[in-house]
Structure 1
Amino acid sequence: MSPTRKDLFNAAENFCQAFAEHKDLEYILSLFSVTHATSVIEYGDPILAPFLGKEFIRPRKIQEYFELLASLVSHENVKFSEYFADVEAMKVSVKGDGKFTWLSTKQSWHETFTYTLDFDDELKVVKYQVWADSGAAYLARIDNGK
């Protein structure tokens, strides 16, 4: 039996909440497919931040993405809303909102971002795409205390 719209919503909500609630990396990685090729990409120019514009493919590289992100940026008060599911394409897009801090400079910014999550038939993430405010991340990263 094919997953329903509700099944997709639940899988997407579970993934998003894992991020928002700072679940451990092992748990987040368990939400990715082990039967299909997987990838993560956060769109943007890599000159702005080292995790942007590069597709992280396969479990080991996806783990590197999350480890790199956690070593550079923290987040709090992240909330998700406006989930949109396409059952035929097995995709969910969702809007997120939260406060982010570049760890080395302690500079924070508030942003609204989107995720698009592609799922396999077992409701595991196959492709995780992020569109966020890469300019704000860059400015927080280069802050020189002025």
Structure 2
Amino acid sequence: MSPSRKHLLAAAQALCQDFARQEDTDTLLSHFSTTHQPTAIEHGDPSLASFLGRPFTGTQGVRKYFELLQELLTYKDMKFSEYVVDTEVNKVSVKGRAEFTWTSTGQSWKETFTYTLDFDQDLKVTDYQVWADSGAAYLASKGQLEEVQRASKE
């Protein structure tokens, strides 16, 4: 029997809340399947950032993805809304917002992003997909975001 809408929504909200609270990697990984090989992918051109455009597969791969994010980025004021739950395929999509900072340059941007989360029968994530502003991340990593932002306002 497939998980109910209520249970899928609660599982997605628990992961999102832990991410927003900046919980440690082990806590985040506790939301991922141990009966399926989980995958994390943040869509985008892999030449723009090391965490973009390639699947991080298995528990160790997903760990590496979260560790890369923690190494390269900080964030604050993360909020999630507009959860869409599909009980037919055990999938939840959600919109998030936060202010991100590329650690090495200190450049920040506000961003809206989406997650699509696939769940197994135990309400654990099997597939974690992110669509975000890879252009802002790239420019911030090169120390060029503020210059581009100023130029766009002129």
TM-score (norm 1): 0.97
SS in 2 for 1:115: strand
CA drift of 1:7 comes to: 0.5
Q: What is the CA–CA distance in structure 1 between the aligned matches of 2:91 and 2:107, rounded to whole Å?
A: 34
User: What is residue 104 of structure 1 aligned with on the other side?
Assistant: 104
CA drift of 1:103 comes to: 0.0
CA drift of 1:37 comes to: 1.6
Could you report, residue by residue, the CA deviation over 1:95-132 in whole angstroms, capped at 9, with x for unpaired residues? 00010000000000000000000000000000000000
AA of the residue aligned to 1:72: L
> Which runs of structure 2 are paired with 1:121-132 in the superposition (5 Å)?
121-132=121-132
> Which runs of structure 2 are paired with 1:21-60 in the superposition (5 Å)?
21-60=21-60
TM-score (norm 2): 0.92
User: What is residue 5 of structure 2 aligned with on the other side?
Assistant: 5
SS in 2 for 1:54: coil
Pairwise CA RMSD: 1.1
8 Å CA contact 2:2, 2:90 repeated in 1: no
Q: What is the CA–CA distance in structure 2 between the aligned matches of 1:109 and 1:141, rounded to whole Å?
A: 11
CA drift of 1:39 comes to: 0.2
User: What is residue 139 of structure 2 aligned with on the other side?
Assistant: 139
Paired residue total: 146
Could you report, residue by residue, the CA deviation over 1:3-25 in whole angstroms, capped at 9, with x for unpaired residues? 11010110000010110001111
Gaps of 5+ in 2: 148-154
AA of the residue aligned to 1:31: H
User: What is residue 66 of structure 1 aligned with on the other side?
Assistant: 66
Q: What is the CA–CA distance in structure 2 between the aligned matches of 1:71 and 1:132, rounded to whole Å?
A: 18
Runs of 4 or more, structure 1, over 2 Å off, are none
Q: What is the CA–CA distance in structure 2 between the aligned matches of 1:68 and 1:23, rounded to whole Å?
A: 15
